[in-house]
Amino acid sequence: MELVCPAGTPAAFRTAVEAGADAVYCGFRDETNARNFPGLNFSRDELAHAVAFARTRHVKTLVAINTFPRAGNLGLWRAAVDDAVRCGADALILADIGLLDYAARVHAGQRLHLSVQAAAANPEAIAFYVETFGVKRVVLPRVLSVAEIASVASAVACEVEAFVFGGLCVMAEGSCLLSSYVTGLSPNMNGVCSPASHVAYRQEGEETVSRLGRFTINRFGPHETAAYPTICKGRFRSAVSNGYLFEEPSSLDAAELVAALRSAGVTALKIEGRQRGRAYVNRVVRAFREALSVLDDGRTVDLQSLNTLTEGNKSTTGAYHKTWR
């Protein structure tokens, strides 16, 4: 299985390559990718240098251009596609149908991956992208159990990539408007979820209140760590029950499922975290490199140490286990 690793900066890119990535994914410093955070991402020159460095180590560079182009301003996204191809990207990770159409027509032969933001979750949907745009790999949305992944992988004519570690969207990707509803900034259009510009923490007596836009997302007691106010991991009230109605502050950790994912036909494992620093990239990539290299021996590696890198030190296998639903 290919190990696909995140890089939010050229330094993290180098770290990922040196830690054992088979492929590194990154994006340009603008709204064309889904991690459009201040201080992150690559200029054209930085991408060209990264690609050249990766080549010397036989590592692939994947460029995420996976937001949905703004109507009336397609040029920014099309230029990102053109420039990524010119910089030598091994694959482009795209979600928007118009942009896939453009890339397939203008850059015939360029390898295209279908971003998780397209949320193609069944064989018929995936076949549409494969047959229409020549997509070579689908990144599966985090809505499928391992058994369902196996059924998808056996029925599609492309490679299958699945998330194994890092931030967890509990909603189907690419169709989540929660952040946009509260802040006006959207993962799909602006490449941000719960943007820091709209986050505030406030002390009220012993409680720390976290807010996003004009809404309170959580209140933490003196002995709790205040989590980042992502709406789907906030604490709320309803007439039926109160608390973490969607999901607790936690991250995906499917280390225990690496062998099962391989048996299911997954050809690439993706680590989330372009917004994370080099220490995270180094530790997580090395751990999964080790896990993959001993997998063939029938041994397993203890990846418990990665727990400290997850959100709130809490992890879940999410939809991979059917009981999560």
Partner 1 sequence: MKLTLGPTLFNWPPAKWQDFYFRIADEAPVDAVAIGEVVCSKRIPLLADRVPAVVDRLARAGKEVLLSSLALVTQARERKSTIDLAESEHMIVEANDMSCLARLAGRPHVIGPFINIYNEATAQFFSRRGAARICLPPELPMPSIAAIAKAVPDVVVEVLAFGRIPLAISARCYHARLYGLSKDNCQFVCVNDADGVVVDTLDGEGILAINGVQTLSHSAIDLIADLDELTSIGVGACRLSPLSCDMVAVAALFRAVLDGRLDGEEARGRLISIYPQVPHSNGFLHGRAGADWIDPLSPPRSAAGAADREGARPSAR
Q: Which of residues 140-179 bind partner 1 (CB under 8 A)?
A: 142-144, 148, 151, 170-172, 174-178
Query: Is residue 94 a contact point for partner 1 (CB under 8 A)?
Result: no
Cβ distance to partner 1 smaller for residue 26 or 144: 144
**From the CB of 305, what's the least distance to partner 1, in Å?**
28
Cβ distance to partner 1 smaller for residue 216 or 282: 216
Query: Interacting stretch for partner 1, rule CB under 8 A, among 21-29, 231-239, 250-258, 303-311?
Result: 231-239
What part of residues 185-214 is at the interface with partner 1 (CB under 8 A)? Answer: 185-186, 188-192, 195, 197-198, 200, 213-214
CA distance 166 to 132: 31
Between helix 97-106 and helix 123-133 the angle, nearest 10°, is 30
What part of residues 12-31 is at the interface with partner 1 (CB under 8 A)? Answer: 31
- CB atoms closer than 10 angstroms to residue 154: 11
Cβ distance to partner 1 smaller for residue 61 or 183: 183
How is residue 298 written in tokens? 């029938």
DSSP string, 66-120: -S-PPTT-HHHHHHHHHHHHHTT-SEEEE--HHHHHHHHHHTTT--EEE-GGG--
Query: Interacting stretch for partner 1, rule CB under 8 A, among 15-23, 48-56, 136-144, 277-285?
Result: 136-144
Query: Interacting stretch for partner 1, rule CB under 8 A, among 52-60, 83-91, 230-238, 274-282?
Result: 230-238
DSSP conformational letter for 141:
P
Instruction: Identify the bridge partners of residue 165 per DSSP, sorted by sequence position.
Output: 253, 271
Query: Interacting stretch for partner 1, rule CB under 8 A, among 4-12, 14-22, 180-188, 281-289?
Result: 180-188
DSSP string, 186-233: -HHHHS-SS-GGGEEEEEETTEEEEEETTEEEEEE-TTS------GGG
CA distance 94 to 139: 10
CA distance 313 to 299: 26
By CB under 8 A, how many residues form the interface with partner 1? 80
**From the CB of 218, what's the least distance to partner 1, in Å?**
7
**From the CB of 162, what's the least distance to partner 1, in Å?**
14
Query: Is residue 124 a contact point for partner 1 (CB under 8 A)?
Result: yes
User: At which residue do the structure tokens 């003196």 appear?
Assistant: 222
Q: Which helix (H) or strand (E) holds 268?
A: strand 268-271
Q: Which of 45, 101, 206, 224 binds partner 1 (CB under 8 A)?
A: 101
What part of residues 33-62 is at the interface with partner 1 (CB under 8 A)? Answer: 36
**From the CB of 241, what's the least distance to partner 1, in Å?**
5
Q: For 165, how many CA atoms within 13 A lie in the half-sphere containing its CB? A: 30
What part of residues 238-297 is at the interface with partner 1 (CB under 8 A)? Answer: 238-241, 245-247
Cβ distance to partner 1 smaller for residue 58 or 237: 237
Contact 55, 74 (CB under 8 A): no
Query: Is residue 122 a contact point for partner 1 (CB under 8 A)?
Result: yes
Q: For 206, how many CA atoms within 13 A lie in the half-sphere containing its CB? A: 4
User: At which residue do the structure tokens 């290299």 appear?
Assistant: 293
Cβ distance to partner 1 smaller for residue 241 or 305: 241
Between helix 123-133 and helix 146-153 the angle, nearest 10°, is 40
